[in-house]
Amino acid sequence: MKINEVIRQRRKELGLTQDRVAELLGVSAPAVNKWENGNSYPDITLLPPLARL
């Protein structure tokens, strides 16, 4: 499974919106959207907080 699929699946399982994930990580909602669509990847420094979500 690709990282964009994991991010989308876990976000939905937790009942979070892209806006809420962005708010919790201190990034923009369009950034989360790009991650989920596979257009870009999260910064490596965001991986630990993203994993904690």
Q: Which of 45, 48, 36 is nearest to 1 (CA)?
A: 36
In a domain, 49, yes or no: no
* pTM (two decimals): 0.90
Mean pLDDT of 14-22: 97
pLDDT at 39: 97
Q: Determine, yes or no, domain membership for 15.
A: yes
Domain membership of residue 29 as a residue range: 3-41
d(CA 26, CA 49): 10
For the stretch 28-49, pLDDT in tens is 999 999 999 999 999 999 999 9
Position 42 scores a pLDDT of 96
Tell whether 30 is covered by a domain.
yes
What pLDDT score does 23 carry? 97
For the chain, give the mean pLDDT: 96
